Amino acid sequence: MKEKVYFYTGNNEASKSILSYNLLIKKKLNTYKVIASNKLKKNSINIIMEGFDKKQYQEILKNKNKNFKVILIITEFLDPKLKTFNSFDKKKNFSLKYFFFYSLIYFYQLLKLNDSNWFKKIYNSSKLRKKLSTFHSVELAKDVIRHKKRFIYFEEILKISSLVYCSHEKIRKDLKKYYSKKSYLIFPLLDKINKKKFSNKIKFSGSLTKYRKSILKNFDINFKNSGFFINNRNKSYICSLHPKKNFQWLYSSPIRYIDAILFGEIPLTTDKFIDNYHNLLSIKLNSKDQYQFKYNINKYSLDIKNINNKISNFNKYIKKDDFNGKIKLKQIIQNVKKNI
């Protein structure tokens, strides 16, 4: 019988990435029974993505004992100096509109943390929330505040984590550099993609930033009624597009590429990055394709062959790390069994 490990979703239930990580973890730890749960499991192995508030952090501490083990997954890029995540994304000239919304949202968060229910009721029941969500500056301000808050509790949970997985090599290196913490990559060994019935439709999932909208227009992807985020889990597509989040974004998105491959899609990229994951796990579109995209069955057949070759090389690249991480997990489970 497979050993049980629990994937805690209680701190990320509203996150659109939770479905991707649930699929990825089940693939990564396929010799275990991975159970998604919105509650922490006492005296068990709990896999937790960073992204906690004070209440969730306190709940984790409340469960802490020698048989309650935390496996932490870090998904954002670290900046211990500024005490936040993804700071390179925020090195831009902010407008007065941004600072106005930042102050408003900061005030809201402060009242929310202090259980000011009167303010929450006014904010949520009025049209104010809907109107504010149409401003790009609001999303930017929310992102800055959310990452600062997340970072506080990330550092605390890191101290009690028995095993740490990272979603990017850069995160792993910085974890070692700033916290002297050993970690492993969350990437699973991947199966090759099988051919599907051909269709020239292309899929996109993710935040609809201004930069991404400018890219999507060239690929006949309809996003007009999609709000700020598209969460497309349809498995019928043969390929998916993965533009970077914004012009300042430095790193490729291996988790997005892996999620596409697990859905049997060919990940297509358009940008240059300072890392190498886009070369390892995606097909880079040439400049002509980016402005006049035409996909046919011959190109699809060629791309299937190319991406499957890349998958084989990627598996060789992560094989040792994957093995070492699983050995560490096995040791943790054995120690828990001894204490029961």
Condensed to tens digits (0 to 9), the pLDDT of residues 114-170 reads 444 555 565 565 555 555 554 455 555 566 777 777 888 899 999 999 999 999 999
Range with lowest mean pLDDT among 20-29, 82-91, 126-135, 209-218: 126-135
* Cβ pair 206, 256 in contact under 8 A: yes
Please report which confidence band the pLDDT of residue 211 belongs to, taking 50, 70 and 90 as the band edges.
confident
* Cβ pair 268, 202 in contact under 8 A: yes
Alpha-carbon distance of 328 to 4, in angstroms, equals 16
- pLDDT at position 184: 98
**What angle is formed at CA 155 by the lines to CA 109 and CA 330, rounded to 5 degrees?**
125
The dihedral sign for the CA sequence 62, 65, 67, 68? positive
Alpha-carbon distance of 150 to 153, in angstroms, equals 6
Residues 301-312: b if buried by 16+ CB within 10 A, e if exposed:
eebbeebbebbe
* Cβ pair 89, 144 in contact under 8 A: no
- pLDDT at position 225: 63
Alpha-carbon distance of 166 to 76, in angstroms, equals 9
Alpha-carbon distance of 1 to 92, in angstroms, equals 53
- pLDDT at position 215: 87
Average pLDDT over residues 41-49: 93
Alpha-carbon distance of 238 to 86, in angstroms, equals 31
- pLDDT > 70? residue 74: yes
Please report which confidence band the pLDDT of residue 219 belongs to, taking 50, 70 and 90 as the band edges.
confident
Range with lowest mean pLDDT among 9-23, 170-184, 265-279: 9-23
- pLDDT at position 114: 46
Average pLDDT over residues 312-339: 93
52-66, 75-89, 112-126, 152-166 — most confident range: 152-166
* 85 membership: H or E segment, kind and range: strand 84-85
- Residue with token string 């899929």: 203
pTM of the model: 0.85
Average pLDDT over residues 26-36: 96
In the chain, % of residues over pLDDT 70: 79
Range with lowest mean pLDDT among 89-103, 194-208, 257-271, 281-295: 89-103
Please report which confidence band the pLDDT of residue 113 belongs to, taking 50, 70 and 90 as the band edges.
very low
- pLDDT at position 77: 93
Amino acid at 290: Q
Alpha-carbon distance of 304 to 301, in angstroms, equals 5
- pLDDT > 80? residue 289: no
Q: How long, in residues, is the chain?
A: 340
